[in-house]
Amino acid sequence: MKLSRRETLGLIGGAAALGLASPAIAQNRKTVVGAMNLTSHSGSFIALERGYFEKAGLDVELKFFQAAQPMAVAIASGDVDFGVTAMSGGLISLAQKGAVKVIGGALAEEPGIDGQKLLASDAAFQAGLTSAAGLDGKRFGVTTAGSSFHYMGSKIAAAEGGIPQFVPLQKVGAVIGALKSGQIDAWSIVPHIAKPLAASGAVHIIGNVSDFLPNYQVTTVFTSEKNASGDKGLTEAFLKGFSDGVADYDDTMVDRTNGDEAVDEMVKLIHNYVYADRPLEKAAPSIINGSMRLNRGAALNMASLGDQLAWFQAEGLVDSAITLDTIVDASFVETIDG
Amino acid sequence: MPETTLSSPSPASPSGAETRQEVRFRGGGFAPKSRRWVAFVVFAVIIAVAEWGTRTGWISALTLPRPSDVLQTLIDLYASGMLFKHLGLSLTRLVVGAALGASLGIAVGVTIGLFSYVRAGLVPLVAALFPIPKIALLPLFVIWFGIDEASKYALIAFGTFTPTVVATYGAVDNVDRSLIRMGQSFGLSWLSIVRKIVLPGAMPGILSGLRISLAIAIILLVAAEMLGAQYGIGAYILEAGSLYDLERLFAGVLILSLLGVLLSTTIGMIERRLLGWRS
User: Is a pLDDT exceeding 70 seen at residue A9?
Assistant: no
| Chain mean pLDDT for chain A | 87
**Residue B7 pLDDT > 50:** no
In contact, A116 and A210? CB cutoff 8 Å: yes
Among the listed residues B159, B242, B91, B247, the one whose alpha carbon sits nearest the alpha carbon of residue A169: B242
Q: Is the pLDDT of residue B57 over 90?
A: no
How big is the A-B interface in CB pairs under 8 Å?
Answer: 77
Contact between B168 and B106 under an 8 Å Cβ cutoff? The reply is yes
Of A25-34, A168-177, B106-115, the poorest mean pLDDT is in: A25-34
Cβ <8 Å between A167 and B147:
yes
The 10s digit of each residue's pLDDT in B150-198 is 989 999 999 999 999 999 999 999 999 999 999 999 999 999 999 999 9
φ/ψ (deg, to 5) at B270: -60, -40
Helix segments in B58-115, DSSP class H: 67-79, 82-114
Q: pLDDT at position A3, please?
A: 58
pLDDT of residue B8: 47
- Short-list B270, B259, B251, B266, CA closest to B93: B259
Q: Is B129 exposed, middle or buried (0-12, 13-18, 19+ CB in 10 A)?
A: middle
**pLDDT grade for B21, boundaries at 50, 70 and 90:** confident
d(CA B252, CA B238): 9
For domain B95-271, is the CATH number 2.40.50.140?
no
pLDDT average, residue stretch A99-126: 91
Rounded average pLDDT over B117-130: 93
Contact A97 B142 (CB under 8 A): no
Of B61, B143, B235, the CB nearest to A168: B235
Closest chain B residue to the Cα of A167, Cα to Cα: B228
Write the CA distances from A87 to A90, A108, B37, B131, integer angstroms.
8, 12, 47, 38
Which residues lie below 8 Å from residue A146, measured CB to CB, with a gap of 6+? A88, A89, A90, A312, A315, A317, A318, B239, B242, B243
More confident residue, B168 or B39: B168
Identify the bridge partners of residue A105 per DSSP, sorted by sequence position: A220
- Please check whether residue B149 touches A, CB under 8 A: no
Phi-psi domain of A329 (left: phi exceeds 0; alpha: psi -120 through 50; beta: other) = beta
* C-alpha to C-alpha distance for A222 and A39, rounded to whole angstroms: 18
pLDDT at A52: 94
Note the pLDDT of residue B50.
92
Question: Which band of pLDDT confidence, cut at 50, 70 and 90, is reported for residue A269?
Answer: very high
The rounded percent of chain A whose pLDDT value lies above 70 is: 91
Measure B148 CA to nearest chain A CA, in Å: 9
Q: Name the pLDDT band for A54 (thresholds 50, 70, 90).
A: very high
Condensed to tens digits (0 to 9), the pLDDT of residues A231-252 reads 899 999 999 999 999 999 999 9
State the DSSP H helix or E strand holding residue A84, giving kind and residue range, or none if neither: strand A82-86
State yes or no: pLDDT of A172 exceeds 90: no
Neighbour order of strands in the sheet with A165-168:
A165-168, A139-142, A186-189, A117-121, A203-208
**For residue A98, pLDDT beyond 90:** no
- Domains of chain A by start residue, with CATH: 5-110+216-336 (3.40.190.10), 117-211 (3.40.190.10)
Residue A15 has pLDDT above 60, yes or no: no
Contacts of A24 (CB under 8 A, 6+ apart): A233
User: Cβ of B61 and A98 within 8 Å?
Assistant: yes
Question: Average pLDDT of B131-140?
Answer: 82
pLDDT-derived band at A110, boundaries 50, 70, 90: confident
State residue A153's pLDDT score.
94
> pLDDT-derived band of residue A4, with 50, 70 and 90 as boundaries?
low
Q: How far apart are the C-alpha atoms of B175 and B188, rounded to whole Å?
A: 16
Q: How far is residue B257's CA from residue A242's CA, in Å, rounded to a whole number?
A: 46
Per-residue model confidence (pLDDT) at position A13: 55
Q: A66 or A221, which is more confident?
A: A221
- CB contact B237 to A (< 8 Å): no
User: Where do the domains of chain B lie?
Assistant: 95-271
What does the mean pLDDT of chain B come to?
Answer: 87
Reported confidence tier of residue A23, pLDDT bands at 50, 70, 90: very low
What is the predicted pLDDT for the residue at A145?
86
Q: pLDDT tens across B61-73, in order?
A: 788 899 999 999 9
Go through chain A and tell me how many residues it has. 338
B16 pLDDT higher than 80: no
Mean of pLDDT values over B73-95: 92
In A93-110, which positions are buried (b, 16+ CB within 10 angstroms) versus exposed (e)?
Answer: bbbbbbbbbbbbbbbbbe
Interatomic CA distance for residues A100 and A223, integer angstroms: 6
Within 8 A of B142 by CB-CB distance, chain A residues are: 174, 177-178, 183
Pick from A162, A118, A177, A166: nearest CA to A144 = A166
pLDDT at A24: 46
Residue of A nearest to B244 (CA): A90
Residue B33 — very low, low, confident or very high, per pLDDT cuts 50/70/90? confident
What pLDDT score was predicted for residue B199?
Answer: 93
pLDDT of residue B203: 93
Is the pLDDT confidence value at A274 over 60?
yes
Query: What ipTM was estimated for this complex?
Result: 0.72
Phi, psi of A170 (to 5 degrees): 70, -50
The angle at the Cα of B17, spanning B13 to B18, to the nearest 5 degrees, equals 60
Q: Distance (Å, rounded) from C-alpha A223 to C-alpha A236?
A: 11
Instruction: Provide φ and ψ at A105, rounded to 5°.
Output: -110, 155
Is residue A195 within 8 Å of residue A75, measured between CB atoms? no
DSSP conformational letter for A108: B
pLDDT above 90: residue A193: no
User: pLDDT band at B122, cuts 50/70/90?
Assistant: very high
Percent above pLDDT 70 for chain B: 93
pLDDT-derived band at A338 (thresholds 50, 70, 90) equals very low
Cα–Cα dist B106/A98, whole Å:
52
**Length of chain B as a residue count:** 279
Ranges assigned E (strand) in A177-332 = 186-189, 203-208, 219-224, 300-301
Contact list in A for residue B61 (CB cut-off 8 A) is 97-98
